[in-house]
Amino acid sequence: MLDTMMPFLTDNFANAASTHPFGISAHEAVKTARQQVADLLGCETHELVFTSGATEAINLAIKGVAENYSSKGKHIITVQTEHKAVLDVCVYLEKRGYEVTYLPVQPDGLLDLAVLQAAIRPDTILVSVMLVNNETGVIQPIEQIADIAHEAGAFFMTDATQAVGKLPIDVDKYNIDLLAFSGHKFYGPKGVGGLFVRQRRPNKVKLEALLHGGGHERGLRSGTLNVPGIVGIGKAAELARLEMAGAKETGTPERQRIESLRNKLETALLTIPGTRINGSPSNRLYNATNIYFENCDSDALIMGLEGIAVSNGSACTAASIDPSHVLLTMGLTEIEAFSCLRFSLGRFNTEADVVATVDAIKGVVEELRALV
């Protein structure tokens, strides 16, 4: 990926909107990247808007729908376990006269479709439900959710940041109208992401822009394009698509290898007394697990793990002193929510990493419980 980006970091600094030969070269590179991302999502190239990441994409999607379809209604539905990028935008819109329904989830983290069905109204303009939860890995049934939204004449949006590049996604198969993603979640560069905006009937979406100034990205995101970042996310998208479709030299698809490592990690950690999985064990992403450790403060656990990167919530709220809103919504107490760790495995993890992590955590848990 870096090799693909380097020419635009060292030799060609041109604006992709320029008409001189250097600008045309940059434009062609962006065009290629747009096709690579479109192939990953199963969409058309003109339905992609490149952004600085999922947070900006989410803001553009929700605010754009709210402003452009307010004549139909001002009711939005989302879920209490969404990423803060979604929840904070909804709070912002509530202050401006919109009504937002925040649906609860069941103890396993899954949305009850009957609850959604009961909440939707004739004036609902948008239903926003994330595909994969960023803390628990729980996968929501978005195809059925989209059907419920469309039956009521509302658009369906999903924050697919944790899923793109890891799970096969086809925006037509899942009836998605808006989809946000970030490049760094599938080994692309940080600071670049995008938004899929359906431009085909029957659910063609028209958004109001957040940024104005030059009419870039079909008028939806003005500003000089981040050519190196876009080229990087394009290559990352291509590699992710090929990896999901093919196999490594061992003959084992990468997904199966990572899932096997996750399962070994999880099985070993669950032998520790007073532990359990948070979220549905069957409807979740293959690389993630969220585990409760009784009588162990998660911050203390993390501080005791030298050279091992785990988290106790979303990285985007790492500075927060509040317990995870996701775990609280799933029914955990505040004390329990402060005693959980999120583990994510990826392309570069090995079995040796799993063994070292298990040994380290068992040691720290034993030390912490001895203090109680």
Q: Does residue 46 come out as left (phi exceeding 0), alpha (psi in the -120 to 50 range) or beta?
A: alpha
Residues 6+ positions from 67 with CB-CB distance below 8 Å: 208
Q: Which two tokens stand for residue 327?
A: 């775990």
**What does R_g of the chain's alpha carbons equal in angstroms?**
21
Residue 257: name the closest of 267, 266, 247 by CA.
247
Residue 65: name the closest of 193, 174, 155, 130 by CA.
155
What is the set of active-site residues? Answer: 316
Q: State the CB neighbour count (10 A cutoff) for residue 212.
A: 11
Ordered alpha helix ranges (H), 17-79: 21-41, 54-68
What is the rounded CA–CA span in Å between residue 13 and residue 15? 7
- Does a cis peptide bond (omega within 30 degrees of 0) precede residue 202? yes
Residues 6+ positions from 240 with CB-CB distance below 8 Å: 40, 164, 165, 166, 186, 187
Please give the span between the terminal C-alpha atoms of the chain, in angstroms, as a whole number: 48
Q: State the CB neighbour count (10 A cutoff) for residue 171.
A: 22
Residue 316: name the closest of 144, 38, 95, 85 by CA.
85
